[in-house]
Structure 1
């Protein structure tokens, strides 16, 4: 397997998932709290929640399932989720090494795009507060009102490549989920699994990762 640093060196452009590789967006406003707010909003609108939805503690999963159980409420849940994400972005914790990595990408002439299932306003809020905006050329956030087009659908990856002016096979996506690896494969980009938790590297490799890293900082050396 090619090393993660070597994939970064070979790439003409860098695609970064947001929650994980760039920051922990729900560090200050926990994801289960946001998920509970969304479920409360659904109930308030008269939706009956199946047991599997009641048990969800991931707000993005609540949004996905809303499209199945109450498609007429997708826009309301989307709006509520976006507001909560923007709130969460104000207390998000930056990922160690990401600032230096973004600066190194700029110095190497590699444009960077954020490719995320989180909303663009939340991403842009964090980038502004963390003073990272100058290092990011494009933000490809969640397709608003179309949860079925979130990763692993390749649309956001392909849009980011177009915005950066590179062919997908010249880019590498760094992400921390199965969906990231699958979206990269569907779009035709290489992928690096950002895996810190035990066993996660194996899982993401099985999902299609071309390389694995446990640290964003270690990717700087081979720019």
Structure 2
């Protein structure tokens, strides 16, 4: 999980400083599918996702369900890993519904202190102004996405195309379900779209939906994970996209 700049610097130079690679992606994008937590904001910037995951584990253990999770799942520090693990073992149960609602409430609390990703707001407004259709395709609750976007004055750039976590948790990314929902609702071919995401699961979902992918990585560790997963274009800032659109 640590960064390896020796191995990744040549790729970073190619993907971040070659405007033709970015220009080609942007030029073909009539629809832009955004992951939420990462490319648009850091949802848990001041409200630790690790703490949320630990709280979910503690809640399960308080109900006598310590053995429901493997050691790796308990130590994952990712609330979505915990949620998916419980859903695999008790799909469609009241237990899963209650756990999902607890996670949604934690996300709603986090939304009030989420940190906007640099250049995301003007990039969203500019892309909308030049005629692109935008949609959110995320594993987060659509309720918190709407709350955050409304607070930033961005909801009209996306609504009604906000596709997030549903009760069918097997449809979470890397399943391409939310991407396909967005494309079908907008009436766009996958080749006319672009997915912006910051995790290997975003990349896999885009690949399975046949949608071109642009990786956003706020640090070397995330950039390394994306490139190792096969992402061909990764940027560590959204500024080059904004510059190209305005140019």
TM-score (norm 2): 0.84
Does the CA contact (< 8 Å) of 1:20 and 1:175 recur in 2? yes
> Structure 1 residue 16: deviation in Å?
0.7
CA 1:193 to 1:60, structure 2 compared with 1: closer, same or farther past 3 Å? same
Does the CA contact (< 8 Å) of 1:5 and 1:220 recur in 2? no
Q: Distance in 1 between matches of 2:131 and 2:139?
A: 26
2:73 aligned with 1:53: yes
Unaligned runs of 5+ in 1: none
Off by >4 Å, runs of 4+ in structure 1: none
> Structure 1 residue 125: deviation in Å?
0.9
Higher helix share: 2
Paired position in structure 2 for 1:30: 48
Q: Distance in 1 between matches of 2:44 and 2:221?
A: 22
2:168 aligned with 1:141: no
Say which SS state the counterpart of residue 52 (structure 1) adopts: helix
Does the CA contact (< 8 Å) of 1:4 and 1:213 recur in 2? no
2:39 aligned with 1:21: yes
2:226 aligned with 1:204: yes
What RMSD over aligned residues (CA atoms) do the two structures have, in Å? 1.7
Higher Cα Rg, which structure: 2
> Structure 1 residue 54: deviation in Å?
2.5
2:238 aligned with 1:216: yes
Unaligned runs of 5+ in 2: 1-14
Q: Distance in 1 between matches of 2:85 and 2:167?
A: 13
Paired position in structure 2 for 1:39: 57
Q: Distance in 1 between matches of 2:148 and 2:221?
A: 29
Does the CA contact (< 8 Å) of 1:3 and 1:212 recur in 2? no
After the TM superposition, which residues 16-165 of structure 1 pair with which residues of structure 2 at under 5 Å, given as runs? 16-49=34-67, 50-71=70-91, 72=93, 73-137=95-159, 138-142=161-165, 144-165=166-187
> Structure 1 residue 70: deviation in Å?
4.5
- Give CA deviations for 1:164-193 in whole Å, capped at 9, x if unaligned: 221111100000000011000000100001
> Structure 1 residue 18: deviation in Å?
0.5
Q: Distance in 2 between matches of 1:74 and 1:119?
A: 14
> Structure 1 residue 133: deviation in Å?
0.8
> Structure 1 residue 122: deviation in Å?
1.0
Does the CA contact (< 8 Å) of 2:31 and 2:134 recur in 1? yes
Paired position in structure 2 for 1:172: 194
Does the CA contact (< 8 Å) of 2:74 and 2:82 recur in 1? no
